[in-house]
Amino acid sequence: MTVQQISIFVENKQGTLLKVLELLKEANIQLVASTIADTVEYGIYRIICSEPQRAFATLKGAGISVAISDVFALTLDNVPGRAADAVRILTQEGIGITYMYSFLYEGKGILIFRTDNPDKTRSVIENNNLSYITDEDLTK
């Protein structure tokens, strides 16, 4: 239901992202998805990748401000409207979404998000039989 996500606290400064990516490259870690929004002061660079634990240790060891956390990962059929359907269910249950991004993986849409109520989100996903992936799906 969840996958591990790496979050990196980056300064809005030239070369910061490159440093992170070079470190992951040297460690031979494959990015699956990543996202960063444009902000004035600082950004949070979020990465879904192969071997998140090793990615975390690599970055941390290099003195990077990094966190690892579980985020929800729903799979959606690759047809219009599936994201709306999923978000509607969460919204109707009063669950707030903190951030969200999506990518295509093996022909399916993957919706990554964090909510303000993880426990409730879990049961809503289960009760509504929403399909999801786990870390194992990304590392196979």
Partner 1 sequence: MYLHRELETMQRGEIAKLQLERLQKTVRHCMNSPFYRKRFEECNLTPDDIKSLDDLKKIPFTTKQDLRDTYPFGIASVPLEKAVRLHSSSGTTGNPTVIIHTQKDLDEWANAVARCLHMVGLRPGDVFQNSSGYGMFTGGLGFQYGAERLGMMTVPAAAGNTKRQLKFITDFGTTALHAIPSYVTRIYEMMQEMGIDPRKDTKLKTLIIGAEPHSEEQRRRIEEMMGVKAYNSFGMSEMCGPGVAFECQEQNGLHIWEDYYIVEIIDPDTLQPVPEGEVGELVLTTINREGMPLLRYRTRDLTRILPGECPCGRHHVRLDRMKGRSDDMIILKGVNIFPIQIETILMQFKELASNYLITLETKDTNDEMMIEVELEHFDEDYGKMQKLTREITRLLKDEILVTPYVKLVPKGSLPQSEGKAVRVKDLRKPF
Binding site for partner 1 (CB under 8 A): 5, 7, 9-11, 41-42, 44, 46, 63-67, 69, 98-99
**Cβ-based nearer residue to partner 1, 36 or 89:** 36
CA distances from 19 to 16, 47, 64, 69 (A): 5, 14, 9, 21
User: How many whole angstroms separate alpha carbon 60 and alpha carbon 24?
Assistant: 11
Residue 77 beta carbon to partner 1: minimum distance, rounded to whole angstroms: 29
Q: How far is the CB of 98 from partner 1 (least distance, A)?
A: 7
**CA gap 24, 97 in Å, rounded:** 29
CB of 39 to partner 1, least distance (A): 8
Report the residue number, 5 or 58, with the smaller CB distance to partner 1. 5
The smaller minimum CB distance to partner 1, of residues 44 and 89, is found at 44
The secondary structure element, H or E, covering residue 25 is helix 16-26
Q: Which is nearer to partner 1, 46 or 58 (CB)?
A: 46
Q: Alpha helices of 47-117 — where are they, by DSSP H?
A: 52-61, 82-92
